[in-house]
Amino acid sequence: MSRSRVWELWRRAETGPLCPEREFDLKRFYPAVKRLVKEYDITYDPETVIPTDNTLIDDVFKAGIDLLTEVGVLCPDTEKIIQLEEREVKESLATLSGEMTVGEGKDACLLKHRKMEDHEPARVFAGPSGNPISEEMAIPIYQSCAQEPTVDLLMYGTPTTIAGMVSKDGSPMEMYAEVANVRWLREAARRAGRPGMFIIGSGAVGVAPAILASLVENGYRKTDGIQLAGLPQLKIPYFELCKAEFCIEYGCRGWVTSPAYIGGLPGGPEAAAVTEVAECIAANLVFRTPWVCVDIHDLLYPPGTSRRDVMSMVNLVTAALAKHTKLIVSTLCDRVYAGCCTDMAFYEFAVAALGAAVAGGDPMSGCCREGRYTDYVTGMEGRCTGEIAKSVTGMRRVDANDIAKAILAKYEDRLPPKGKPPIGKEFRECYNPKTVTPNKEYVELYGKIKKELEDMGISYKF
Amino acid sequence: MSKEEVLEKLRRSFLSYDEEATRKAAAEALAAGVDPLEAVSVLTETIRELGEKFSKMEIFLPDLMLAADAMRAGLTVLKPELMKRKAETRTLGKILIGVVKGDIHDIGKTILVTMLEAEGFEVIDLGKDVPIRKFVEEAQTHNPDIIAASALMTTTRPEQRGLIEYLKHLGFRDKYKVMVGGGAVTSQYAEEIGADGYGENAPEAVEVAKKLISK
């Protein structure tokens, strides 16, 4: 996008129609999304976890575009609306190449826009996904993810302490923690024999730490990426636009997550799907990046992402973007309810990986215990996600849907509030942190689950 | 119109989430000689029903937010009359709530505010990015039963600990119950920093608030 176009969007954030946030939410956004869901007759069928109805996929996409062009994007700092015209949206999508190289040297990775039932294998993220990790376990955790052969991209965590001090927003500890964090990521990739591996970071910190961590020696490279985020719903704050501006000037990749909440401001699952399409298209236009992430949560039981309605809507949005754009789409079903080293966590990651890969996205394995607890992440979840995502290339959606439902049946009764997911183990309880290898119990459990999934219809290539 | 009809009109106006219609229906109820306490009860009972529907996902967050706005509109008409008669509306308790400094993720706090209001709590919402000092100053002004602080990020949750320490330092710790919550917070962490209550999600937080008030 040309600089003049960027300036034009900033200008709109300053001079667009004034709209206080609550008015934007309740009087502008909510009635519009409610009406569009009705107009397009979009309905959620709990039996469809991976979408098979192409008309539904088309309608969700069209409704998302209508929503974005009707409602616009609110800049919460100025409480002004950045209005977007359909022509601008279409132009922005039409200029996408559908390809992007990340990482460097022998570890460079070509990310490609994927289609539904694509025969090209998905690219797989692994790592704590912004969730808490201890400084003691940071390198072994990152290494456990980076050394998995089916993992392509390494995702950051957030250190809870640095040099024993609490890493707190806006403090020098946060600045230093971010610098340390990127060096831990880099060291972990090096120890895994992948020194040029793509790293994404700086999502859960302020603008200054993100910039500092890129400018220091062994910091984020121009071949790495920074996480950018919108706020629910259809809101983009200035500090995130500052990070986006840094990405452009520095030359690194911006990767955007803008979550939609089922039961939240959009309404039901269908409305959350329409909203998330709009969020992803807005991200492309306003953040100027071809790389977006489909991110949907259940409002009452966040941040876990493995509920049926959440996954179904993530897959529907992924399919809509896969069919109608050339965006590079990743999916953020990355926070499971169960702890590491449990059957339930493997099932939860398995459905997410299967759905994302078949719907046309790149899946991400993230944290166990919803990312609330420190060090509940290991490379084994990356292995589970990667091996499935790369094995189901070309699988028909209808077949994948049957498998997804069979896996869901293995754990849905254990989801909160009625069920109690197993706590499992944290990293140091199921990995040897010195050798960075999973213990026997964990390996055997994975083998058992893999066999079960094979019996359900996944033909593993690994 | 009979008293029942007047109150039913108030209920229906409220259920349409129409602020102006609710205000008008409340005024009509007073003009018809309805006891303002009865009119307030219609609003509080109805919003409680809506809260239950929300926790079953039969209605959604914006519906509850619109209902809260309509309720406030109705109360602006009914409350002066209650005060004239020196009658008091009963609330479950007063809660001062905000998202801590450095954190602008307020969707969880917004749900909790609306659910608490629906349950009959009086809520003072400080919004997002709230410094510790502001929590304390507002607490001194409003004298709440509970101070609730939300944090989504690992790097912002230390503010919750800071709030508790600040209250202790000023000698106010025993004056208020402190609740914490948010995506980055666990029951373990809440206990570690000395909070009185923690809710993993909004419905749970409402129950915790009720328990804290009844203690």
pLDDT in tens, A208-227: 999 999 999 999 999 999 99
Contacts of B155 in chain A (CB under 8 A): 158, 167-169, 174, 204-205
Alpha-carbon distance of B17 to B80, in angstroms, equals 22
Residue B89 has pLDDT above 70, yes or no: no
Question: What pLDDT score does B80 carry?
Answer: 87
Encoding tokens for residue A346? Answer: 């493997």
CB within 8 Å: A266 and B60: yes
Choose the mutation target among A372, A373, A376 for the interface with B, i.e. most B CBs under 10 Å.
A372
CB within 8 Å: B105 and A231: yes
User: Out of A346-360, B102-116, B189-203, which region has the weakest mean confidence (pLDDT)?
Assistant: B102-116
CB within 8 Å: B158 and A231: no
Question: What pLDDT score does B52 carry?
Answer: 87
Coil, helix or strand at residue A127: coil
Coil, helix or strand at residue A394: coil
CB within 8 Å: B183 and A302: yes
Q: Encode pLDDT of A225-283 as tens digits.
A: 999 999 999 999 999 999 999 999 999 999 999 999 999 999 999 999 999 999 999 99
In this complex, the residue of A30, A169, A373 whose CB is nearest that of residue B155 is A169
Residue A51 has pLDDT above 90, yes or no: yes
CB within 8 Å: A205 and B155: yes
Closest alpha carbon to A349 in A388, A302, A394: A388
- Measured between CA atoms, how close is B86 to chain A, in angstroms? 34
Do A129 and A155 contact (CB within 8 A), yes or no? yes
Residues in Cβ contact with A309 at an 8 Å cutoff, skipping those fewer than 6 apart: A44, A46, A262, A269, A298
Instruction: Map A284-344 to HEC letters.
Output: HHHCCCCEEEECEEECCCCCCCCCHHHHHHHHHHHHHHHHHCCCEEEECCCECCCCECCHH
Encoding tokens for residue A380? Answer: 């084994």
CB within 8 Å: A232 and B107: yes
Alpha-carbon distance of B215 to B209, in angstroms, equals 10
Contacts of B103 in chain A (CB under 8 A): 169
Contacts of B165 in chain A (CB under 8 A): none
Question: What pLDDT score does B152 carry?
Answer: 87
Do B147 and B135 contact (CB within 8 A), yes or no? yes
Residue B87 has pLDDT above 80, yes or no: no
Mean pLDDT of B39-58: 89
Contacts of A204 in chain B (CB under 8 A): 153-155
Do A169 and A77 contact (CB within 8 A), yes or no? no
CB within 8 Å: A169 and B153: yes
Alpha-carbon distance of B31 to B24, in angstroms, equals 10
Q: Whole-angstrom distance between the N-terminal and C-terminal Cα of chain B?
A: 44
CB within 8 Å: A300 and B202: yes
**CA A449 from centre of chain:** 25
pLDDT bracket for residue B107 (50, 70, 90): confident
Residue in A closest to B105 by C-alpha: A231
**A102: which strand partners?**
A109
Cis peptide before A233 (omega within 30 of 0): yes
Q: Which pairing describes strands A362-363 and A253-257: parallel, antiparallel, or unpaired?
A: unpaired
Q: Does B27 touch chain A (CB under 8 A)?
A: no
CATH superfamily of B94-214: Cobalamin-binding domain (3.40.50.280)
Query: B58: buried, middle or exposed (CB in 10 Å: 19+, 13-18, 0-12)?
Result: exposed
CB within 8 Å: A169 and B103: yes
CB within 8 Å: B183 and A267: no
Q: The tokens 């969707």 sit on which residue?
A: B107
**CA A455 from centre of chain:** 29
Question: What pLDDT score does A203 carry?
Answer: 82
DSSP B175: G
Contacts of A205 in chain B (CB under 8 A): 155
Alpha-carbon distance of A310 to A262, in angstroms, equals 8
Cα–Cα distances in angstroms (integers) from residue B204 to residues B111, B191, B215, in the given order: 12, 16, 17
Mean pLDDT of A22-45: 97
Coil, helix or strand at residue A80: strand
Q: Does B202 touch chain A (CB under 8 A)?
A: yes
Question: What pLDDT score does B203 carry?
Answer: 84
Residue B22 has pLDDT above 80, yes or no: yes
Q: Which pairing describes strands A165-166 and A161-162: parallel, antiparallel, or unpaired?
A: antiparallel
CB within 8 Å: A30 and B62: yes
Contacts of A22 in chain B (CB under 8 A): 65
Contacts of B60 in chain A (CB under 8 A): 263-268
CATH 3.40.50.280-classified regions of chain B: 94-214
DSSP A268: S
Question: What pLDDT score does B110 carry?
Answer: 85
Angle at A74 (CA atoms; ends A71, A79), nearest 5 degrees: 125
Question: What pLDDT score does B164 carry?
Answer: 97
pLDDT bracket for residue B88 (50, 70, 90): low
Please report the sign of the dihedral spanned by the C-alpha atoms of residue B133, residue B136, residue B141, residue B144: positive
Q: What is the dihedral of CA A87, A88, A89, A94, to 10 degrees?
A: 90
Question: What pLDDT score does A459 carry?
Answer: 97
Q: Tell me the domains of chain A and their CATH numbers.
A: 99-456 (3.20.20.460)
Q: Encode pLDDT of B124-183 as tens digits.
A: 999 999 999 999 999 999 999 999 999 988 889 999 999 999 999 999 999 999 999 998
In this complex, the residue of A205, A263, A371 whose CB is nearest that of residue B61 is A263
Q: The tokens 């040897």 sit on which residue?
A: A432
Do B109 and B99 contact (CB within 8 A), yes or no? yes
Q: Does B186 touch chain A (CB under 8 A)?
A: yes
pLDDT bracket for residue B215 (50, 70, 90): confident
Residue A80 has pLDDT above 70, yes or no: yes
Residue B95 has pLDDT above 70, yes or no: yes
CATH 1.10.1240.10-classified regions of chain B: 3-84
Which residue pairs from B156-159 have beta carbons closer than 8 angstroms and sit at least 24 positions apart in sequence?
Answer: B156/A168, B156/A169, B156/B100, B156/B101, B156/B102, B156/B103, B156/B184, B157/B100, B157/B182, B157/B184, B157/B185, B157/B189, B158/A166, B158/A168, B158/A169, B159/A168, B159/A169, B159/B100, B159/B101, B159/B102, B159/B103, B159/B132
Q: Encode pLDDT of B59-68 as tens digits.
A: 999 999 999 8
In this complex, the residue of B111, B155, B202 whose CB is nearest that of residue A204 is B155
Residue A1 has pLDDT above 80, yes or no: no
Q: Encode pLDDT of A337-384 as tens digits.
A: 999 999 999 999 999 999 999 999 999 998 999 999 999 999 999 999
- Measured between CA atoms, how close is A182 to chain B, in angstroms? 16
Encoding tokens for residue A453? Answer: 């999934």
Contacts of B61 in chain A (CB under 8 A): 261, 263-265, 299
- Measured between CA atoms, how close is A383 to chain B, in angstroms? 26
Residue B117 has pLDDT above 90, yes or no: no
**A336: which strand partners?**
none
**Topology of the domain covering B3-84:** 1.10.1240
Q: Does B180 touch chain A (CB under 8 A)?
A: no
Contacts of A202 in chain B (CB under 8 A): none
Contacts of B111 in chain A (CB under 8 A): 264, 299-300
Contacts of B203 in chain A (CB under 8 A): 300, 417
Alpha-carbon distance of B15 to B18, in angstroms, equals 8
In this complex, the residue of A167, A262, A265 whose CB is nearest that of residue B62 is A265
Residue A59 has pLDDT above 70, yes or no: yes
CB within 8 Å: A170 and B102: yes
Question: What pLDDT score does A2 carry?
Answer: 79
Longest pairwise C-alpha distance within chain A: 61
Please report the sign of the dihedral spanned by the C-alpha atoms of residue B19, residue B20, residue B21, residue B22: positive
